[in-house]
Amino acid sequence: MTETITSRPVRPAASAPPALSGPGLFTVLLGAALPLVDFFIVNVALPSIGTDLSAGESVLELVVAGYGVAYAVLLVLGGRLGDLFGRRRLFLGGMAAFGLTSLACGLAPDAWTLVAARVAQGASAAAMLPQVLATVQATTSGARRARAMGLYGATAGLSMVAGQILGGVLVAADVAGTGWRSVFLVNVPVVLVGLLLAARAVPETRSARPEPVDGPGTVLLAASLLTLLVPLTEGRAAGWPLWTWLSLAAFPFVAAAFYAVERRADRAGRTPLVPPSLFALTSLRRGLLLIVPFSVGFSGFMFVIAVALQQGAGLGPVAAGTALAPLAVVFFFVSLAGPRLVARFGTRVVPAGAVLQGVGLALMALAAWRSWPDLGLVELMPGAAVAGAGQALQLPVVFRVVLSEVPPARAGVGSGVMMTTQQSSLALGVAVLGTLFLSLVPGHGMRDALVTTLLVQLAAVALTGLLSLRLPRTIG
C-alpha cells in the first residue's frame, strides 16, 4: 500500500504541461475573439453585400447562417481532435485555415462563392476555438484559471458587440475601395500575428488517454443541428417550403438517435463525442441550460437592432454600429471586476446581472417607442449601458461555472460541448428573433416590430434569471 501511494506522484509531474504564460493567454484569447467577431461583423455589411453582389434576401441569410451552422456542427469534433492530436497543433491549423478562408470571403466574385467561403470559414473556426478553453483548463489552476476564464468571458462578450461596431466602421471607411470586403480581409494580418505568437507562446497539450473520433456520433450530431438550424434560418426567406417542415419534424427523431448512440458508447466504456455522463456534473448541466436563453436573446438582439437602425431609422453603418458602443464599453469594465465580485458574492452576481440586463432592455424598448425614428447613440445609451453591465455579470461567470468540474482529460470535450451550445443558440437567436421581427414589420411597422422583439427578449432574460438561481453558489 505504501509503495502505491509513494509511486503515484511521479507520473503526473513528468507529464504535466507547462503553465500558460501571459503572451500565451493573450494569443489564445485572440483566437477566441476572431470567430465571434466574424459571426456578428457581417450584420451591418449585409446591405452593401446584397447591392454589390446582386444577392437576394435568402442568399444573404445564408452568408450568416452558413458560417454559424458549420461552426456549430463541427465544434465538438474540433474539441475531440485537439484532445487526440494536440490542442496547439489544431489551434495553429484552425487559425491558418481561418485566415485563408477569410481571404477567400474578401475576394469572392459572387454571392454563392461568398456563401461557400463562409461555410469553410465556420469549419475553420470550429477547429480553432475549442482549443482555447481546453488549453486554459489544462495549463492553469486556482486563481490563475479564474482570472483566465474571467478574461475569456470578457473577450467573448466584447467580441460579439465589437464585431458589429467594427463592421460598420470598416464598411464606411471603404479602405482602398474594398467596401464590405474589408470586414473579411481585416482578419488576414490579425491571423498572421496570431500564428507567430502561437508558435512561440502556446504550449502543446493533449488528453492523457485520447480516444478515436466517434464517427456515428459526429454524423448524428451534425444531422441533429442541421435539421433544426437550416430550416429555421432559411424558412422565412424561402417561403417555408415543404422541406423546412419535414426537416423540423425529423429533428426530434435524429436527436433521440444521437442520444441513444452516445449513451450506448458511454456505457460500453468508450468516450463518445458528447458523453452523457458529462451531464452528471451539476455545474455543467445547469450552466449549459442557462447559456441557451442568454445566447438566443443576445444574438437575436444584435441582428434585429442592426436591421432596425439601418433600414428603419435610416442610420449609416458607422452610426448603426456605434449605437451599441456604450454596451461594449460598460461590458468590458464591469467584466474586469467580475472575478472580485464572484470571490465575494459567489454566483449570486448572475441573477443580479439578469435584473440589470432586463432593466436595460426595458429602457431601450421605451426609447424606441418614444423616439422612433430618431433612434441612435444618445437615445439608446442609458439602456445599452445598463444592459452591458448586466451581461458582463452573467456571461464570464457562467462560462467558469460550466467548466469548473470538468477534468483536464476531458477539457476538449467539455469546451466543445459548451461552445456548441453557445454557437447553436446564437444561430437559433438570429433565426427565431430575426424571423419574428421581419415577419412583424409588414403589418405593424418597424417601430412596433422592434419593441415587440425587445419584449420577447426580455422574457428570455427573465428565464435566464430564474435558471441562474439554481447555479451552485460557489465555483470550484
Burial bucket for residue 143 (CB in 10 Å: 0-12, 13-18, 19+): exposed
Q: What is the value of pTM for the model shown?
A: 0.81
Percent of the chain beyond pLDDT 70?
95
pLDDT of residue 443: 87
pLDDT, one tens digit per residue, over 366-410 is: 999 998 988 888 899 999 999 999 998 988 888 888 888 887 767
Q: Which of 60-64, 79-83, 187-191, 300-304 has the highest mean pLDDT?
A: 187-191
Give one DSSP letter per residue of 231-243, joined into a string: HHHHHHHHT--HH
CA 85, CA 409: separation in Å to the nearest integer? 13
pLDDT of residue 5: 38
Q: What angle do CA 473, 146, 161 make, to 5 degrees?
A: 95
* CA distances for 203 relative to 96, 150, 184, angstroms: 17, 20, 28
Assign 16 a pLDDT band (cuts: 50, 70, 90). low
Assign 103 a pLDDT band (cuts: 50, 70, 90). very high
* CA distances for 329 relative to 23, 104, 146, 151, angstroms: 24, 32, 22, 15
pLDDT of residue 6: 39
Q: Which of 34-48, 133-147, 322-336, 452-466 has the highest mean pLDDT?
A: 452-466
102 neighbors 188 (Cβ within 8 angstroms):
yes
pLDDT of residue 210: 67
Residue 130, pLDDT above cutoff 50: yes
Query: Nearest 10 degrees: CA dihedral of 150, 152, 153, 158?
Result: 120
Percent of the chain beyond pLDDT 90?
33
Residue 426, pLDDT above cutoff 60: yes
Assign 9 a pLDDT band (cuts: 50, 70, 90). very low
